[in-house]
Amino acid sequence: MKTTVVICAIAAALALQTTLARFAVGSQSMVDLVLVAVVYAALAFGPVVGLFAGTVGGLAQDALSAQIIGVGGLSKTLVGFVSGVVGTQFIVSGPIPRFVVFLGASFVHALCFRGIHAMLPVVAADSGLPAPRGAGLALGAVFWQALGNAAIGLLVFQAVEGLPGLLQRRRMRYRR
């Protein structure tokens, strides 16, 4: 059941991400919905599910993206697992702790993702091909992306947790 939920969430996030990306081509501050799905899965189901979600989501994202496959997979696997561990070690059931986790996860992901990219010219130089330019760590863009990710993650949590209660209250009101 968990696996199905996670895969569906990642597929939905990917579909939405590619659709929205059409209107913000190349924008580095655009929200990463797959990362949001991975961190959500990690906080909701624990580190193992977070790891699984990070691997699947990252690899799928890499496969659909014009970049080396594995960079996003690695970054998201790390973030998914660490977020899951944080979720089990600390109480992160409130909105503020969750916001902080999403924010931190986004920063760690950006650091990891861009760090790996920065190391890629060394690999490329061995192959004899011209070295690609490593993606610089544009802090402003990373900050806005992290803020967007955290806000959306929080909204997703509120929606998933609040919706059943809301429906139940409405049903009760109709019964009266």
Of 136 and 162, the one with the shorter C-beta distance to another protein is 136
Out of 8, 12, 20, 119, the only residue in the binding site for another protein (CB under 8 A) is 20
Q: Does 30 bind another protein (CB under 8 A)?
A: yes
Total residues in contact with another protein, by rule CB under 8 A: 36
Out of 6, 9, 31, 146, the only residue in the binding site for another protein (CB under 8 A) is 31
Residue in 57, 65, 70, 62 with CA at minimum distance from that of residue 25? 65
Cβ proximity of 50 and 80 under 8 Å: yes
Out of 11, 138, 147, 151, the only residue in the binding site for another protein (CB under 8 A) is 138
Q: Does 89 bind another protein (CB under 8 A)?
A: no
Length of the chain: 176
Give the C-alpha distances (Å, rounded to integers) separating 162 from 35, 45, 61.
22, 18, 29
How far is 61 from 20, CA to CA, in rounded Å? 14
Query: Which residues contact another protein (rule: CB under 8 A)?
Result: 14, 17-32, 34, 60-62, 64-67, 72, 129-133, 135-136, 138, 141, 145
